[in-house]
Amino acid sequence: MECIEATLEKLELERVPFPEWFVPRFFAKDEAEGFDGCWMVYDSKPHFTNGEWVSNGSSYEIGVDDSEGLAHTPSICRGLEPSRSLFRIVTNS
2-53 pLDDT tens trace: 789 999 999 988 988 999 999 999 999 887 776 777 889 999 999 999 888 9
With contact defined as beta carbons under 8 Å apart, do 53 and 42 qualify? yes
pTM of the model: 0.86
Helix (H), strand (E) counts: the chain: 0, 7
pLDDT at 89: 96
Q: What does the domain layout of the chain look like in residue ranges? A: 4-90
Between CA 12 and CA 18, with CA 14 as vertex, the angle to 5 degrees is 115
Q: What per-residue confidence (pLDDT) applies to 91?
A: 84
For residue 39, what pLDDT is reported? Answer: 87
Kindly tell me the sign of the dihedral angle through the C-alpha atoms of 66, 75, 8, 2.
positive
Q: pLDDT tens digit string along 62-91?
A: 876 655 554 567 778 878 888 999 999 998
